[in-house]
Structure 1
Amino acid sequence: MKNTLAIAMLAAVGAPMAAHAESTYVGAGIGAAEQVLSISEGTFKDRAAGVKLFTGYNFDKNFGVEAGFTHFGRAETGGNRSGSRARSFYAAGTVTLPLGEKWALTGKLGIAKNRTMQLVVGEGDDKQKKADALLGVGANYAVTKTIAAFVEYENYGTVAKGKNGSLKATILSTGMRFSF
């Protein structure tokens, strides 16, 4: 898994990208992923390093589609009593609002297929698969005509709901997008 992720990230970095043109693009990002676990003993949140890889297509300068993978890392929620790992595959429609030649605001609405594993001491493991809405907002900056940097906040909603409680996940990430 680590080798596959490293190869995919290298492939993403090696391709060129246009910030506001009709194009197919790939990208990679890293950021702060937050997981919030709500169980009978309370609500616990933790941040971990998150990673995402994605690809998409812009139909024009305003609308497109995107699909990707996000790994939220491993969160220790509730001290030594519980923890979680979550990841997601998603598909979304995108909207871009250009703010001149270099800057653009972005929005994303789609569906995320989430997989999680929660551990609550005394209650055992709880593996979940759950789909939920994905909402995202962000900004792009055209570094060159073919490379764009981004910062983005994505909310994956409730990624798990089961016998041990519910888990919500978000990520604030930054990275690069490249078109070809």
Structure 2
Amino acid sequence: MRMILSSVLVALAAGVSMPASAVENGPGVYAGVQLGQASSSNDRYERDDLSIGLRTGYQINKHIGVELFSNSLSFIEVGYGFNRNEPAHPEEHYGIAVTGTFPLNERFDLTGRAGIGRTKMHAVVVGKDDYNETDPSIGGGVRFNFNPHWSMNAEAMRLTKTKVTVISTGFRYQF
């Protein structure tokens, strides 16, 4: 959480120190990387762990885009292996999302996302197999545009079926 707050503060400081010139994010392909924290809870465990995300997409116009994404959830648990009711743990999520952007000023944007994907569930019980869940996702955040190519964002994403929340910050490069 400290890393996310520090990243947001750096982006704000950079925004204040840069000249106020408009940055236009027009159509184009982009790629990004995210680093943050995944939080999950169910009847048997509640964990926070590192999440690393990769994204690639196409910005259709300055307000709408389509994105392919993947997030590691890293919930590494060692079960006792004897209790057949031991829950599976979310390990990885990948999917597709429609993204939206609402400009606040020349450099800051509010962002939103709605998507669907697959979450790999890791079974820790001996004799049970891993499986995948179809998992809708929603999210929102804020983005700071350094120039027409580079931007930094902070966001929260919720995987609704597996009840995982990912809070992250990252960078995006638009080609």
Taking structure 1 as the reference length, what is the TM-score of the superposition? 0.73
Is the 1:72–1:85 Cα contact (8 Å) retained in structure 2?
Answer: yes
Aligned CA-pair RMSD: 2.5
Q: Structure 1: which 5+ residue stretches go unaligned?
A: 1-17, 160-167
* Aligned match of 1:32: 37
Per-residue deviation, residues 49-92 of structure 1 (Å, max 9, x unmatched): 00100101111111111111111012449999967351111101
164, 168, 173: which one aligns with 1:169: 164
Alignment of 1:133-172 (within 5 A): 133-159=136-162, 168-172=163-167
Q: Report the Cα offset of residue 36 of structure 1.
A: 1.6
Letter in structure 2 aligned against 1:101 = E
1:74 aligned counterpart, secondary structure: coil
Identify the residue that residue 113 of structure 2 maps to in structure 1.
108
Alignment of 1:43-58 (within 5 A): 43-58=44-59
Q: Which has the higher strand share?
A: 1
Q: Is the 8 A contact 1:106 1:138 kept in 2?
A: yes
1:83-114 Cα shifts (integer Å, max 9, x gaps): 73511111011110011110000110010111
**Whole-angstrom CA distance in 2 between matches of 1:127 and 1:147:** 38
* Structure 2 CA distance for aligned equivalents of residues 79 and 32 of structure 1: 26
* Shift in alpha-carbon separation, 1:85–1:124, aligned structure 2, 3 A: farther
Identical columns (%): 26
User: Equivalents in 2 of 1:106, 1:88: separation in Å?
Assistant: 20
Distance 2:24 2:38 in 1: 25
Q: Which ranges of structure 2 fall in alignment gaps of 5 or more residues? A: 1-22
**TM-score, normalised via structure 2 length:** 0.75
